[in-house]
Chain A
């Protein structure tokens, strides 16, 4: 677990952490916006239209 400070600056955020956060974000967007499950689609219907996701 080495998070090394770079030349006295702030410590870098580990790439693995960044990837976890990005994947979590992508998963949320997929479920809310793109997944074509009937139930999800009906529940998120208005939002998908309003946010401009491809909907029916």
Chain B
């Protein structure tokens, strides 16, 4: 039995050795990119999420300021129910359009866990990506670090952009359909999009391309599970910013993941 981390001496079985190389390249790439993604999230995404939690927890309330300049609250002479529109709750002073976001801070236990889980998620992505690269190589493709960039972008499109097209990254406190239903749609969309993009990349005839388009489009034609009512307490401005940033961080991280994974895998494979 060779110790797991001793890669200097080659083991006897080429199969075991190859498995080790697959795992090592994928996990190193995944962990490194997980760390990068975690830092990007802490700087760009977490402040928006913390801001949203102020609304989720009721410390701030959205859209209740009766004197808001742009809500048209004054111009309702013919409102049908002017008296009972839910102004009973005491309204905090810094409500409504208060736009001060919590600064970039570091909450050690909470953000430490986030870093850990981001590394775990990207290690998982890295393993899937390297497995797919090895499979493509078995089928005659060549993987270089430069091509890894395209693999990363395709991975982003399949695993993050495609599901986000139906279920945009949401903040705490937003209205949403049942979690299990959304998870089923999410997994189905990722699987269908992955096969679809694979067929676009490696398909050789129009049947493959037609199947690819059907697979990529189907989840969105069927439609993601949506909430029955939009009753979330968080401001749409924050939600939009959150979705944009989550997707942007995903694109950057996945692109680097593709580069690292392809580079490490092609190197370790040649070794």
Contacts and interface: CB of A to CB of B under 8 A. Distances in A.
Interface in A5-52: 10-22, 24-29, 31-34, 36, 43-47, 49-52
A8 to B, nearest CB: 14
Contacts of B172: 45, 49, 55-56
A46 B49 contact: yes
B160 interface: yes
Contacts of A13: 18, 22, 134-135, 137-138
A46 B46 contact: yes
A20 B127 CA distance: 10
Contacts of A51: 118, 121, 160, 169, 246, 250
Interface stretch (B69-77, B174-182, B197-205): B174-182
A43 B179 contact: no
A36 B180 contact: yes
Nearest to A36: B179
Contact of A18 (B22, B110, B171, B242): B22
A24 B127 contact: yes
A18 B41 contact: no
Interface in B110-149: 110-111, 113-114, 117-118, 120-121, 123-132, 134-135, 137-138
Given A25-B126, A25-B127, A52 B163 contact: yes
Nearest to B13: A1
**Range for the number of chain B residues in contact with chain A:** 35 or more
B14 A11 contact: yes
Interface in B149-164: 160, 163-164
Interface of A, secondary structure class, is helix
A28 B168 CA distance: 22
Given A25-B128, A28-B123, A50-B46, A55 B117 contact: no
Interface in B25-67: 26, 41, 45-46, 49
Contacts of A47: 41, 114, 117-118, 121
Contacts of B127: 21-22, 24-25, 28
A52 B167 contact: yes
Given A13-B18, A25-B128, A29-B125, A52 B135 contact: no
A50 B131 contact: no
Contacts of B235: none
Contacts of B246: 49-52
B239 to A, nearest CB: 11
A33 to B, nearest CB: 6
Contacts of B130: 21
B83 to A, nearest CB: 34
Given A1-B15, A49-B246, 16 more contacts: A10-B270, A14-B15, A16-B15, A22-B127, A22-B128, A24-B23, A28-B123, A29-B128, A43-B113, A44-B117, A50-B249, A51-B169, A52-B167, A52-B246, A52-B247, A53-B183
